[in-house]
Structure 1
Amino acid sequence: MKTLLLFLIFNYSKTWAKLYLDDKIKFPLDTDLYERVLDHQECNKQLGYIRRNDSLLMSRFLDAGMRVPRGILLGNLVDLGNYYQCLDIHESVKEMSIEGKYCMIKVPVNQNFKIDASFEKFKYNFDPGTLFLHAETIENLALECLQSIYNLFCFSNNQSSLLSNIQFNLALCVPKVCTTEETISGFLFNLTAIGFKYEDVYCRLPNDKPWAPVDYIAIIIFSLLGLLTLLSTSYEVYHNVICKKDPKRVNEILISFSALTNCRRLLDMNPNSDNISCLDGIRALAILWVVVGHVFYVIGHIPANPIYAVKWSQSYESIWITTASLTVDTFFFISGLLLVYITAKKLTGRELVKNLPFFYLNRLLRMFPVLAVVVLYEASLANRVADGPLWHRFMVDSTHKCRQFWWTTLLHLQNFINPEQVCVGVTWYLAIDVQLHILSPIVLFWVLGRSKTLAWSALIVALCASLAASTTYIFTSEPLKETSNYFVYYYVNILTRAPPFFVGLVYGYLLHLWRKRKARIHTILHRFITLFIISLFMLIMYCKFKGDLLDFQNKTLKSLFHSFLRPLWALSLGWIIFVCVNGYGGPINWFLSLNIWKIPARISYALYLIHMTLMMTVYSTSLQPVFFTVGSAMFDAFGFLWLSMFVAFFLTAFVDAPFAILFKKLFECVSKKKPRTNEKPRIAESNQNGTIPQVLHKRENLITKI
């Protein structure tokens, strides 16, 4: 078993990105349109008219376009002009239609310019001589580029020079028929004469988002979901309210899409003795930490004061944000724990092998509906809900990825095939979770058997093998020695993320053994261990923060941190759950079991999938880079929390919950044998307790577990 597990994991870990997007093709936009509208003769005619006869129109173009960024000393090298003002230019004069076109260009810093005297009168609009950075600013910005390669001003991957990594990103408003070169030469100065160098990034025009087949598919599918919800809700209202029939006699399939039933079940606060109540608090706090961490992460890509942002991220004040990635291992741990805890109650090892196709199908179908809806939305309508100067960089890019690689996300292969071009970026977690569940029967077969010795042996061997394989890989992998490879070769690698899942399997079996009785722990002992565990939490966060600092160069310690911090996090979390379940949690258990956590926990899956899409949508409409402060970021975080929870609630109620009922009925029909008359009670009991892992019978487990 150990050899097979190592073979599978090493085989998976060696499969890396083979599919990439062509950055020059953004087919969610009509890229041919930008070429079709160009007309050299018409451009000269329009520029000549504007320059000689219409100073107000010329001022509109210049005012909406290129200027020196404000806050250069704080590291701001981005000016986005005025996107809507530029695209709103539409003048008809002398048989000419003069319209605005918004473009972005990147300009190398500290160029040597030869300013012509005739240019002096235009300096109030744009003075290229001021595009200069001092050595200290360049050094600080280089650190920011190393930390966040996706930052707006970090365009080059050439590490030979600090200057090669840092460039200005400037907006330019030009007539639709002109190129940026023609407009700069016509409005401002002769490019060749003063030695001004730049490179085009992209241009935007009104109505440059052509309708694609996926847009029509999305409208049809979302309309059908809305129609089903309306019809199902109407049926329930007619049956229960108008006809006043017994609610228990209502057809469960016909009300599966009912908004009334699904919302009522989501809002139900009645305790369930079969559930581990403290998991609601842990799951809710973990997903809230994910959302807050991602707000700081996204703002870090568009900061107006990146130097301050980097300095803050390297200070101890940021430890609660920079260590937020640890919370993902909370979900890996919970996933492993619930897998054993739930399955052990329903199946034996032989029954698991016999029903292995249902075991896998159950897992995949549970996650598919909401995932498919989010993928479809991001591939289609997400590109149409808004617009802005950063739309091309974020939302168009996301739509492009989903139209190309939607299938890798739905098949949970994205961390192998296209880890750097993932459709719905946060789904890398789902891919690893599914892959771990595919491997889990190798261990579960022994865990579900009658022999506790074999069960513990299988769990310990699997955990040790996972830790040994992960540690060996981390210490010996050459690509991991380069910081730029961290995400692909470590963060989304099943080999390095598996240990917390196996720790969860161990705790799941431990809780299963103590399911019907409480463990007896001496008061002094459990208090001492709990205090030690809390101290260990703090130490883990400190080590994670310290290891991620830009000036931390101890590679051996970094490898140790990568190998053991996440399993230790899961180990510590498991103890907290164990004492809470056995009545020793005290105020910790009271806090984690509060009813306030139930709803966030139930919608956590949809919340996880949708929150980044909402953030990118909002920030893509920003008209200028965001000035980063902790207070403003937290203000945004609370706003995104409520917005994401609102959307996630309806996704869960109108998509996840209805399909859960349908899949439950499907499994029941497939798993049932045609009973004899006198065997009905016995077979009904069998369906409840397990010919397949009926996680779907526990509605709360279905709609809360990520």
Structure 2
Amino acid sequence: MLLLKSIVLISLWAKYAGCSQSILDVLRQEIDYSTWNEDLEPVLANLTKQMRRQILPYAQEVLYDDEIPQECLQSFLRIASGLNDGKVWAMRFLDSSGGILPGMLDGRLASMGSYDQCLRIRAPEKNDPKKVAFAGQYCTASILMRRQPLLHRTLPSFIQQDPRIWELLGGGDVSYVLDLVEKSPVGYRVGICLPSTCDSSVISHLAKKFVGKYGISADVLGCRDQIKGRPPSTGTVICLVRVARCFSARANYLKITNTTLVPESRSLDCVHGIRALSALWILYAHVFVKDWGNTDSALTVAWMFKSPSGVIINQSLLALETFFALLGFTMYRIIAHVRKQTDMSAWKLALIVILRRAVRFIVTGMGAMAVFYVLPLITSGPSIDYMYPYLEKFCNVRWWSYAIFINNFWTMEEACVENQWYTAADMQIVCILILPICLLTREPGKSIRILLCLVGGSMVYVASLTYYYGAPPIFFLQPERVIATLHLAFHMHTHSLTHLSPAAVGVLGGYLMDKYKDVDLGSTVYRAGWILYSALIIAFGMASCIWNDRGYASVSESVLYAAISRPLWAASLIWLIYMCSCGRARLIRWFLSRPNFIVLSRLSLSFYLMQWPSLWLSMFSTRNPYSASYYQHLREFVADATFIVLGAWCLVLLFEAPATALDSLAFQSARKKGEAKLREEAATKLENMHPIPYRL
């Protein structure tokens, strides 16, 4: 083998040695300067003269415009003079601004220019070149065109001429596309490099002055210049203060990475793999939809979403339901164990469970929010200049709602850290289920009836909202389903009652597994269960493929699927856990119980909470559109996953682990003499570090 590798290396060297030698020969050649080609300067001078003649009337209007400050006008004159004299700093104002780029007809929605080049521009004083007269100011403008007859005449014809776009938009009458264009809040984004002496309102003013009559407007989304600079917000300053040194990072690290499980929990070690894979599934979907505006072809992304591989994205909601099903399952197991070991009243136990879970969520969630406030200090880019102030506004106004778990009462578009709606929904579901679970250990018949009513109520709630809003059963990113999909995201996705049914099914599954764990159901039941399980998984995938191919789902299909998909998915998950625990799915259990999955499972809460801050960091840092392809998306996913794992480690060691340690210490010292201890090792049957109910 070594000889073969040596032969390959020698042959490659022999092949490319001649190439490198020829390059050196070319570089050593002498250049003949005795003859020259025709000079371009007269041609450029003539073009410049013609352009001046065309621009002069507009320049005169700008110079005599009373709404533009004198200081700004002087800067424009300096730039014009610098261009005439061939000054590099003046040329950079034009070179760093965006414009019409290739790919617009294929869905490129932004021309960002050169962000860093604009911010580095320094125009010298006339009298003292060492001093700076003004600098470059980078602004992102959204160019919109409203009620333009030419657009309404040509756009339908253009769509019909391109079969790819025609099929993507559903064919037939495409007049709705014109309505979407008219209603779109953000248009074609363009980076514009202004002098720092000018206010950003100059862009909107000049657009209205010269092209406003054509329905073209320019809304400035955000600006930045290095001279004025945006001072760090109060939240950023506070989050940089080191408040305390808490606990040993080494000890917490060793606890998390210890993959040796206690004997009682080994039969359920597959839960770690299910949790870890679900967390990665959610991240994959988030990466896919994180920033369509910065792709070089939004149409390609839409086609990727519609392809068979898009099923993973369409059905990513099921990954979220996995966590809610595991929430109910693990809550039952720990509460049932405590109720068997102690005479603690149901009300007292419920308060302890809620309080301990709330402390862990509040501390970890606020740590993730602190990362958001620090982002302006660690990155820069066109997007952060207009997106961060918008998001920060909601954080400053509604930060308190995260601490009392009501932040999901607002829509996702009004949230600063979008994915933290999960912790609110989780806590609300815990408050709903905690007493029925306590009752389940003493009066199972009554509790089961209550849980079944909760499952039915949740199904009716989801079906009613789906019918009322006309929401699709899955995430559609096709143009004709945009509004319906937004209803699904804004009015259903974040509601705790939407996810109550899988959590209640998880509780019932935990109870049935505990009751019949030593009962052999027979090979016929096991085979039938596997057949139903396989049929259900295939049905989820086929439904998504059919709706993607058709382009829509009927109202009856949407309502029925929305109502039954969540509890059925939770039931299939419980079946898989049961089969792994009783030794009838050994290969699956072996795969799901890998040590790497165990560690990622323990990091899952911080891994989830760090997703949006990390994705914002990626979006804020983007300077240029990225390629829309499966390879690029996979690359982004792997890179983001690696970065988020590192961020999750930091979040755990700085916030989650110390909070858990304080929580354990406080409750240990508060136990009364003679009361049966709530042993921490018994509370960690699925997780060696944390109590099971307190894990995402």
| Counterpart in the other structure of 1:178 | 198
Cα gap change, 1:580 to 1:409, in 2 (>3 Å): same
* 1:608 shift after superposition: 0.3
In the alignment, structure 1 segments of 5+ residues that lack a partner are: 1-34, 115-130, 147-156, 230-256, 676-681
- Work out whether 1:72 is the aligned partner of 2:85: no
Residue of structure 1 in register with 2:366 after alignment: 372
Once the two structures are superposed, residues 526-567 of structure 1 have per-residue CA deviations (whole angstroms, 9 ceiling, x without a partner) of: 133213302311212332454567821411101111111121
Residues 327 and 503, structure 2, Cα contact 8 Å, conserved in 1: yes
| Residue of structure 2 in register with 1:359 after alignment | 353
2 CA distance for matches of 1:262 and 1:639?
25
* Secondary structure of 1:341's aligned partner: helix
Q: Determine the C-alpha separation between the residues in 1 that align with 2:497 and 2:202.
A: 53
Q: Is the 8 A contact 1:401 1:422 kept in 2?
A: yes
Confirm or deny: 8 A CA contact 1:109 1:168 kept in the other structure: no
Aligned residues: 601
Structure 2 CA distance, aligned partners of 1:345 and 1:317?
A: 43
1:50 equivalent to 2:85? Answer: no
Residues 266-275 or 599-608, more deviating: 266-275
Cα 1:701–1:630, aligned 2, differ >3 Å: closer, same or farther? farther
- Map of 1:199 onto structure 2: 218
Q: CA deviation at 1:204?
A: 1.8
Q: How do 1:176-325 residues align onto structure 2 when only pairs under 5 Å count?
A: 176-178=196-198, 191=210, 197-201=216-220, 202-206=222-226, 208-220=229-241, 223-225=242-244, 228-229=245-246, 257-275=247-265, 276-325=268-317
Q: Which residue of 1 aligns with 2:507?
A: 505
Aligned 8 A contact 1:282 1:592 in 2: yes
Alpha carbons 2:110, 2:293 under 8 Å: kept: no
- 1:83-482 matches, within 5 Å, as 83-95=115-127, 97-108=133-144, 135-136=158-159, 160=179, 162=181, 165=184, 167-178=187-198, 191=210, 197-201=216-220, 202-206=222-226, 208-220=229-241, 223-225=242-244, 228-229=245-246, 257-275=247-265, 276-347=268-339, 351-378=345-372, 380-449=373-442, 451-476=443-468, 482=484
The answer on whether the counterparts of 2:686 and 2:692 sit within 8 Å (CA) in structure 1 is yes
Larger Rg: 2
Q: Deviations over 1:74-122 (max 9, x none)?
A: 11131000000011100213157131111222323599899xxxxxxxx
Pair 1:700–1:669, CA change in 2 (3 A)? closer
The answer for the alignment partner of 1:686 in structure 2 is 677
Displacement of 1:44: 4.7
CA shift at 1:391, angstroms? Answer: 1.6
The structural deviation recorded for 1:617 is 0.4
1:475-494 matches, cutoff 5 A: 475-476=467-468, 482-494=484-496
Return 466-475 or 136-145, whichever deviates more: 136-145
Q: Return the offset for 1:593.
A: 1.7
Bigger mean CA deviation after superposition, 414-423 or 63-72: 414-423
- SS in structure 2 at match of 1:39: helix
Secondary structure, counterpart of 2:290 in structure 1: helix
Secondary structure in 2 matching 1:210: coil
Q: Secondary structure at the match of 1:392?
A: helix
Once the two structures are superposed, residues 453-499 of structure 1 have per-residue CA deviations (whole angstroms, 9 ceiling, x without a partner) of 33433333332333344334433567899443222221112222211
**Which whole-Å CA distance do the structure 1 matches of 2:445 and 2:109 have between them?**
63
Change (3 A) 1:105 1:272: same
* CA distance in 1: counterparts of 2:530 and 2:693, whole angstroms: 30
Task: Give the secondary structure class of the aligned counterpart of 1:623.
Answer: coil
Q: Tell me the CA shift for residue 367 of structure 1.
A: 1.7
Q: CA contact under 8 A between 1:38 and 1:177: conserved in structure 2? A: no
RMSD over equivalenced CA pairs, Å? 3.7
Q: 1:458 to 1:142 in 2, by over 3 A?
A: same
Cα deviation digits, residues 420-474 of structure 1 (max 9, x gap) = 312311111111111011111342242121x333343333333233334433443
The one-character-per-residue Cα deviations of 1:178-214 (angstroms, maximum 9, x if unpaired) are 357868999x999369969331323221253213332
Q: CA separation in 2, counterparts of 1:638 and 1:397? A: 29
Distance 1:644 1:333, change over 3 A: same
Partner of 2:54: none
Say if 1:384 and 1:452 are closer, same or farther in 2 by CA, change over 3 A.
same
Give the direction of change, closer, same or farther, for the CA distance of 1:667–1:67 in structure 2 (3 Å limit). Answer: same
CA 1:337–1:161: 2 relative to 1, 3 Å: closer
For 1:653 and 1:697, how far apart are their aligned partners in 2? 17
SS at match of 2:583: coil
How far apart are 1:358 and its partner, in Å?
1.9
Specify whether residues 263 and 136 from structure 1 end up closer, same or farther in structure 2 by C-alpha distance, changes over 3 A only: same
Percent identity (aligned): 19
**Residue 595 of structure 1: CA displacement?**
2.0
For residue 584 of structure 1, what is the aligned residue in structure 2? 584
The alpha-carbon distance between structure 1 residues 337 and 703, as it changes in their structure 2 partners (threshold 3 A), is closer
- The residue identity in structure 2 corresponding to 1:216 is V
Distance 1:104 1:617, change over 3 A: same
In structure 2, what is the equivalent of residue 20 of structure 1? Answer: none
DSSP 3-state at the match of 1:108: strand
Alpha-carbon distance change, 144 to 605 in structure 1, aligned in 2, over 3 angstroms:
farther
- Answer with 323-332 or 96-105: which moved more: 96-105
Q: 1:467 to 1:44 in 2, by over 3 A?
A: closer
Counterpart amino acid of residue 510 in structure 1: L
Residues 64 and 172 of structure 1 are in contact (CA less than 8 Å); yes or no, is this contact kept in structure 2? yes
Aligned pair in 2 of structure 1 residues 641, 704: CA closer, same or farther (>3 Å)?
Answer: farther
On the 8 A contact 1:42/1:177 being kept in 2, the answer is no
Q: Is the 8 A contact 1:346 1:689 kept in 2?
A: no
Aligned partners of 2:239 and 2:374 also within 8 Å: yes
The residue type paired with residue 95 of structure 2 is D
Query: With structure 2 as the length reference, what TM-score do the two structures score?
Result: 0.78
CA distance in structure 2 between the partners assigned to 1:298 and 1:465 by the alignment: 33
User: Counterpart amino acid of 1:341?
Assistant: R
Corresponding letter in the other structure for 1:356: A
Q: Is the 8 A contact 1:141 1:306 kept in 2?
A: no
**Aligned-pair distance for 1:159?**
6.8
Letter in 1 for 2:679: Q
C-alpha distance in 2, partners of 1:325/1:446? 30
SS at match of 1:160: helix
Give SS of 2:416's match.
coil
Corresponding residue number in structure 2 for 1:125 = none
CA distance in 2, matches of 1:621, 1:303: 14
Check whether the contact 2:261–2:688 (CA below 8 A) recurs between aligned residues: no
Distance between the aligned counterparts of 2:117 and 2:105, measured in 1? 27
**TM, length-normalised to structure 1:** 0.77
Equivalent residues in 2 for 1:662-701 (5 A)? Answer: 662-670=662-670, 672-673=671-672, 675=673, 683=675, 685-688=676-679, 699-701=689-691
